[in-house]
Structure 1
């Protein structure tokens, strides 16, 4: 079975974050955020994270905006115009329309970590993406959420 991990960086120190990553079988981060250059991203800003991953873990950094929700979906949820259940439905429909499994292959996902900002996977699209892709690839992944 292949490994697929997820992690969020909110409320994590850089030390905690990189130690969590180091203790996996992963070799790369797949950034699934819509906005990865915000000042709020701290040590996980796109260019900084790519630098840290390469120099601390010798990992690859991949930004995959195709796995990010649209701004409309994200804004509707943040502004409480839709529920989490509505968000899930719209996001999963988006992945289906994008035929994401043709873009993000099993080989790309193997031994990788899906990165987003949310502290836990419960209300985060990284969990939805991991589950969706795992199903598309006949549940060949052991999905582990790093908290």
Structure 2
């Protein structure tokens, strides 16, 4: 079974973040933030894309899969049911569905990780996106935590791996 990774960059720095991606064998990063600007050094779109390119990791931004402002506000306020309702409606829009189709095709090419800010995948829309992709591809979902990349280095043999061409659509 192949895998789709997810990661948030809350609580980490760019160096540990990149080491985590590399330890997991990620070849492309799918940014699913609506606004790819960050106050954290190295995580705004242009700087992040440049750093990842230097590391041999492709960067792709799927802006239409980002959480709209009311959803982000609900999540920030801890109103997760409201956040899920807002994002659930958003992901059914034509733009989001088109981006979801493109993302689904993209993840089948190389080991991919979905990116957003929140460390906890349970309170982030990237988990909803990952489940949508998983339903279409049959990929397992594996949540990375970028604050301690050494855990993935130490346990590299136990990490799930991407297998080119292995999905329900390829079968």
TM-score of Structure 1 vs Structure 2, range by shorter chain = 0.7 to 0.9
Q: Which runs of 4+ in 1 moved over 4 A?
A: none
**Contact 1:92-1:132 at 8 Å conserved across structures:** no
Who is 2:162 aligned against?
none
SS at match of 1:43: coil
Who is 2:43 aligned against?
44
SS at match of 1:30: strand
Who is 2:72 aligned against?
74
Give deviations 1:13-41, integer Å, cap 9, x for gaps.
22321111001232100111122123x13
* Residue from 137, 141, 144 that aligns with 1:143: 141
Give deviations 1:27-83, integer Å, cap 9, x for gaps.
100111122123x13211111111110112x111001111101123223443x3x82
Q: Summarize the alignment of residues 1-147 of structure 1 with structure 2, pairs less than 5 Å apart.
A: 1-38=1-38, 40-56=39-55, 58-78=56-76, 80=77, 83-97=79-93, 98-99=96-97, 100-105=99-104, 107-110=105-108, 111-135=111-135, 137=136, 140-147=138-145
Q: Which residues of structure 1 form unaligned runs of 5+? A: none
Root-mean-square deviation (Å): 1.8
Q: Which residues of structure 2 form unaligned runs of 5+? A: 146-171
Deviation for aligned residue 1:125: 0.8
Normalising by structure 1, report the TM-score. 0.85
Deviation for aligned residue 1:132: 2.2
Normalising by structure 2, report the TM-score. 0.74
Give deviations 1:103-147, integer Å, cap 9, x for gaps.
322x31232110111112121111111012212x15x11111001
